[in-house]
Amino acid sequence: MDDATIEAAQRGDRRAQAQLLHALQDPWFRFCLSLVRNVEDAKDATQEAALRFLKALPSFRGQSKLQTFAMGIALNVVREKRRERDAQTDAAALRLSEARTEHESSKEEAELLRQSVDQLPDRQREAVILRFFEQMSVEETAAAMKCAEGTVKASVHQALKALKGKLSHLM
Amino acid sequence: MSKLRKHLDKSRREYQQAKYPGDLADELLRPAIKLSQWIAPIGLIAVAALVVVALNLHHATPTINEKTNPPYVMDMTQSPITTQPTEQLAVSTGGVPDFSTSDTSDMSFAPSGYTFSVSVPSFSLAEDDSSTQPSATTQATKETI
């Protein structure tokens, strides 16, 4: 994603915008998928993030990487969807979550880790995914999460501590 | 490297294999791209149509004198194409005298310089051979006999 393409996309060049969307669609999708754990919801979130990204693109001033800017938008979308989902949470969803926990012992280690990450509080989960899966720096993660770098460090520390506790029998 | 870090790395590799099922740019930008592709041709056609209408109006309005010339009506029907060659008649005018049409007040039936007389041959059914002039051939035949 070179500067010329970004500037052209900011001016409304459709081909440049398409190039940016091609570059961002997979990072967006896997990030959303890791947070919502449902392909259709992740696809919806990706599309919503892309639309908001195109709308917000002219306001991008280059203080951060474009990918960080884009991930921040996707994170906002996921948070909104999560709030909607949480408002609709019922006993069935709770039962499904309990069932997943019961089957942990029969899963692969990676799957166990994924499930453990899923069970982290939202902030910690976001920080772990951005830091370790998207391999963003603390600064970039903080920019995407719109919080202080100290908050990111604390969230990651608490998340790793929780994961170690959950996976202690594997280590 | 701790075991947890190894597990995180393994999970990251799996995480990065996820691909968006489709083409985001195609899904979101295609309608706009298609519309923009049509704008230029439609604009050109519209401008061309306006120019044709303007030219027609310009040529039709000021030059027509309604009293002497009927308004020009463009015949849009095409004459059928004939596949057979039309038969042409050759008319020779060599033997026709020249008629002067400068003064037609005293034009007579016969052109000037010609005397026009009509002689009506008389026919009789009588058996008088002397009244009829024999032709050269019949005369020759009689002499031979």
| Cβ density class A5-20: b for 16+ within 10 Å, e for less | bbebbbeeebebbbbb
As a whole number of angstroms, the distance between CA A24 and CA A106 comes to 35
Residue in A33, A32, A20 with CA at minimum distance from that of residue A65: A20
Paired tokens of B106: 């005293």
CB atoms within 10 A of CB A142: 22
Q: How far is CA A3 from CA A8, A65, B24, B43, B61, in A?
A: 8, 11, 21, 33, 58
**Residue A106 confidence (pLDDT) above 60:** no
As a whole number of angstroms, the distance between CA A44 and CA B21 comes to 11
Work out the average pLDDT over A76-97. 71
Nearest CA in chain B to A165: B4
Per residue in A10-56, pLDDT (tens digit) is: 999 999 999 999 999 999 999 999 888 889 999 999 999 999 999 99
**Residue A104 confidence (pLDDT) above 50:** no
**Residue A105 confidence (pLDDT) above 50:** no
The C-alpha angle with vertex A87 and arms to A85 and A88, in degrees rounded to 5, equals 65
Q: Nearest by CB to A34, which of B4, B15, B19?
A: B15
Contact A132 B18 (CB under 8 A): no
Contact B11 A54 (CB under 8 A): no
> ipTM for the complex?
0.73
Residue A130: the pLDDT is 93
* Averaged pLDDT, groups of 10, chain B, 145 residues long: 80 88 88 66 89 87 55 58 57 57 56 60 57 50 48
Work out the average pLDDT over A93-111. 54
Chosen from A24, A26, A28, A120 to mutate, greatest number of chain B CBs within 10 A = A26
Within the 16-75 window of chain B, which residues sit less than 8 Å (CB to CB) from chain A?
16, 18-29, 32-33, 36
Residue in A41, A34, A59 with CA at minimum distance from that of residue A113: A34
Residue A37: the pLDDT is 80
Q: How far is CA B57 from CA A135, B52, B53, B68, in A?
A: 70, 9, 6, 20
B125 has a chain A CB within 8 A of its CB: no
**Residue A107 confidence (pLDDT) above 80:** no
Chain A closest CA to B41's CA: distance in Å? Answer: 19
Give me the domains of chain A, ranges plus CATH numbers.
Answer: 3-170 (1.20.140.160)
Residues 6+ apart with CB under 8 A from A35: A42, A75, A78, A82, A125, A126, A129
Whole-model pTM: value is: 0.56
Per residue in A116-159, pLDDT (tens digit) is: 888 899 999 999 999 988 989 999 999 999 999 999 999 999 99
Residue B16: the pLDDT is 87
Q: Which helix (H) or strand (E) holds B133?
A: none
